[in-house]
């Protein structure tokens, strides 16, 4: 699994990196806020109209026009390729509203496989499954639905999670392809100016507000001819074949990255403590940049790291942050850094080797000489161990006193 491939498939930033586009976004921002407020008001009426009118071509046409006012424009390609006898549509997943967009073009039902149930599930246009939990029970329920006459086709997303739709497709799960022998692939491409289509861990409600904020979001729907499973072909081979068809239609790459890989990458990215720069600048400047660019937990660790830095100025911030991520305690980190003083100095030396100069942010001043030397070398291992423990205790007491004096604490508070 390539981390670079995962990074390309998802947008972890809502706003663009390009300075020109970012400037345009700043100019557009007040307009976008006003547009969002107006569209929220109109959106309520769209919801009421869609609930009041029965399922028909007239209802879909009216709602589609009203959705265009909300900034959600729909364009379709090869509409005549849509097979009315097909009971199962397979589509790639880009946004939280893909099923609503397909439903504007043709009647279809999308089951809610995870997430909210009840009113929220119904209001979002999902079909609630009342069967027991478990993939087998869900599969049997959907299989019965597909075999029932008069029901609209099912719309499923075999990727099981969203991507940015620009780099590649997640690996298709095989179980949706076991529902029927024939399926119709639907290729979906979504474009939006200024801001990203979606970000991981963002709720559907937040995505809806950003959709109202954006100037427009254009959905391009392309209908591919129906595909049937061949004799001797396994479900996973059938799924891979459909994945290749959709990837070719969209001009994307068919990957082996799964929904679980995406979740693991997000989790790892959330808990990663970024390394501080080794360029010549005060430690407080590096910390300020780090605090502004991190989440709540990382900001807390960065502030704790600065407090430890005040006590041990010779220790690099990245070494302190790495230990704080494990201990989550200032006193424990100070103790660890004092007890592993040689290892810490070695890591600091290695870091400075790759810097532009010897005077990096953590070595801007001389290291404090607080290490008390032993009066004589112990003759026995017990004497030498005792001498080491005494020096550790002296170093720890010095660090504690310095921390208390720095923050104006009472001696009793420091214990």
pLDDT per position as a tens digit, 362-392: 444 444 444 444 555 555 555 555 566 676 7
Please give the structure tokens belonging to residue 331.
């006193």
pTM flag (> 0.85): no
How far apart are alpha carbons 352 and 363 in whole angstroms?
9
Nearest to 186 by CA among 229, 221, 236: 221
Helices then strands, each counted (H, E), the chain: 15, 8
Residues of the chain with pLDDT under 70: 1-5, 130-133, 272-297, 341-389, 391, 406-415
Q: Which residue has the tokens 């009315």?
A: 84
How far apart are alpha carbons 371 and 333 in whole angstroms?
18
| pLDDT at site 206 | 94
| pLDDT at site 280 | 39
Percent of the chain at pLDDT above 90?
36
């Amino acid at each position: 699994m390539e981390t670079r491939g995962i990074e390309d498939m998802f947008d972890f930033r809502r706003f663009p990196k390009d300075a020109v586009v970012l400037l345009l976004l700043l100019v557009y921002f007040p307009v976008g806020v006003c547009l969002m407020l107006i569209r929220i008001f109109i959106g309520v009426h769209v919801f009421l109209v869609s609930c009041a009118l029965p399922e028909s071509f007239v209802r879909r046409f009216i709602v589609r026009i009203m959705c265009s006012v909300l900034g959600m424009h729909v364009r379709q390609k090869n509409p005549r390729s849509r097979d009315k006898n097909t009971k199962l549509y397979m589509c790639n997943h880009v946004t939280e509203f893909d099923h609503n967009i397909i439903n504007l073009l043709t009647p279809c039902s999308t089951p809610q496989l995870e997430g909210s149930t009840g009113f929220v599930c119904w209001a979002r246009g999902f079909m609630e499954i009342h069967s027991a939990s478990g993939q087998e029970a869900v599969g049997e329920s959907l299989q019965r639905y597909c075999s029932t006459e008069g029901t609209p086709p099912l719309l499923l997303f075999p990727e099981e999670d969203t991507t940015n739709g620009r780099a590649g497709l997640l690996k298709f799960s095989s179980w949706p392809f076991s529902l029927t022998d024939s399926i119709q692939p639907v290729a979906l491409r979504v474009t939006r100016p200024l801001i990203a289509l979606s970000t991981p861990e963002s709720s559907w409600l937040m995505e809806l507000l950003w959709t109202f904020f954006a100037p427009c979001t254009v959905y391009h729907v392309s209908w591919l001819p129906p595909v049937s499973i061949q004799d001797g072909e396994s479900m996973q081979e059938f799924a891979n074949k459909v994945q290749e068809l959709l990837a070719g239609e969209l001009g994307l790459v068919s990957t082996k990255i799964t929904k679980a890989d995406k979740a693991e990458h997000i989790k790892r990215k959330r808990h990663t403590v970024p390394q501080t720069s080794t360029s010549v600048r005060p430690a407080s400047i590096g910390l300020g940049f780090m605090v502004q660019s991190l989440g709540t937990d990382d900001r807390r660790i960065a502030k704790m790291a600065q407090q430890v830095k005040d006590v041990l100025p010779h220790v690099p911030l990245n070494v302190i942050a790495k230990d704080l991520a494990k201990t989550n305690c200032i006193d424990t980190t100070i103790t660890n850094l004092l007890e592993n003083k040689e290892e810490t100095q070695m890591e600091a030396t290695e870091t400075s080797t790759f810097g532009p100069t010897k005077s990096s942010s953590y070595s801007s001043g001389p290291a404090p000489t607080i290490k008390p030397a032993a009066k004589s070398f112990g003759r026995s291992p017990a004497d030498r161990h005792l001498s080491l423990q005494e020096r550790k205790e002296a170093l720890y007491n010095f660090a504690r006193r310095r921390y208390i004096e720095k923050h104006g604490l009472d001696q009793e508070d420091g214990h």
